Amino acid sequence: MTTRGPVQVNVDAMIEDLRTLVEVESPSRDHEALTASAKTVAGVVESRLGGHARLVEGEAGPHVHWSGGGEPRVLILGHHDTVFPLGTLARRPFRVEGGHATGPGVFDMLGGLVQAVHGVAALDDRSGVEILVTADEEVGSRTSRALLEERALACGAVLVMEGAADGGGLKTGRKGCGTFEVTVTGRASHAGLEPAAGINALVEAAHQVLAIAALGRPEAGTTVTPTVATAGTLDNVVPAGATVTVDVRVETAEETERVEAAFAALAPHLPGARITVRGSVGRPPMPESASAGLFALARELHPGLAGRAVGGGSDGNFTAALGVPTLDGLGAVGGGAHADHEYLVVDAMAERAGLVAGLVDAIRNGRQAGELAAGAPRRGGGR
């Protein structure tokens, strides 16, 4: 099946490439699996675009970088790590039924990678285009951040291939996000014979959970959500230790500073208890101003295309924070990210590939990306 529009793509070939990527499982932090996945991604890129897709070694696993040559103008950004453990494929194999493709990672975000590659492949001239596919986005991008920021500054515009928002909309803003871990140290004692001799870390953790939850400001777009708690060893022992993990989402730098300062200021309620806090808002907010110009360009190419700010973070948060115009959510149309019902809408693949091709072409030919983003001036960069 070949679809013709502004560009020509073969949807059957896209599905076969998607199958190839999905059937090489790539859970985050599994270096061996991610090495195999990176080689597979590089093979798909080279087979469709020519040239050489180099593997950039990282502690988490290899990142894949391809360049069409010439002056860098636009970076297409994605990741090949997924949240699903090895063995998921056996339980949930790749399938195409009823207009949907299913399997681990089809929506987040292997489908977006395939669409990007085929969109660029449809262009006669691929100069100025770079593709970077990282290996650790799902776990914070610690080993890829410097590289993706370097290439974003060099190119001056970033198209992020994360899955689309509901209904196929683009993601024009993202909250900053981070994880905090609060550790409570108390003192153990026998819960029946001498409970007062202990310092109950679980009771202290309960006080901290209430204080932490109160830090949220929904009216400012800030959510502070305790998500995981552990404490104690046996039912007859006053617990000597407890930990609380907290998810934080913020819309502004001011809220980032407030929340981080509040975590740093946490103090124990029980005499003798100690509190240790680790973590930060690791991904800065992506303001809608960073995507304004590129989104307007996308609307010129596809009138009626929706855009929305979302709570989840991506590597687009990092590039937008540098002042580089960034548009997110250009990947697969579908849903169920990180869940067993994850799916991709096959009929949307050609249009999304065409959108990528159109944006790349417009950015390279006469549109200066730094002038497109109101409020997000480009900072210098180069090879």
Closest by alpha carbon to 355, among 134, 116, 128?
A: 116
How many percent of the chain have pLDDT more than 90? 92
Q: Is the pLDDT of residue 363 over 80?
A: yes
Residue 376: pLDDT above 50?
A: no
Mean pLDDT over 231-245 rounds to 98
Name the token pair of 162: 């994360």
Cα–Cα distance measured from residue 279 to residue 179, given in angstroms and rounded to the nearest whole number: 6
pTM: 0.88
**For range 29-49, the mean pLDDT:** 98
pLDDT in tens, 146-195: 999 999 999 999 999 999 999 999 999 999 999 999 999 999 999 999 99
Is 315 assigned a catalytic role? no
Give the pLDDT score at 377. 38
Catalytic residue among 17, 108, 136, 137: 137
- Domains in the chain, CATH or no CATH each: 2-174+286-372 (3.40.630.10), 176-283 (3.30.70.360)
Q: Helices (H) and strands (E) in the chain — how many of each?
A: 11, 20
- Cα 171 from Cα 233, distance rounded (Å): 44
Q: Sign of the C-alpha dihedral, residues 90, 96, 97, 99?
A: positive
Catalytic residue among 25, 81, 130, 342: 81
If you count them, how many residues does the chain have? 383
- Long-range contact pairs involving 45-54 (C-beta distance under 8 Å, separation at least 24): 45/117, 45/131, 45/133, 48/17, 48/117, 48/118, 48/120, 48/121, 49/117, 49/120, 49/121, 49/126, 49/131, 53/131
pLDDT value for 8: 85
Annotated active-site residue 81? The verdict is yes
How does the average pLDDT of the chain come out, rounded?
93
Model confidence pLDDT, tens digit, residues 311-349: 989 999 999 999 999 999 999 999 999 999 999 999 999
Q: What is the 3-state secondary structure (H, E, C) of 106-139?
A: HHHHHHHHHHHHHHHHCCCCCCCEEEEEECCHHH
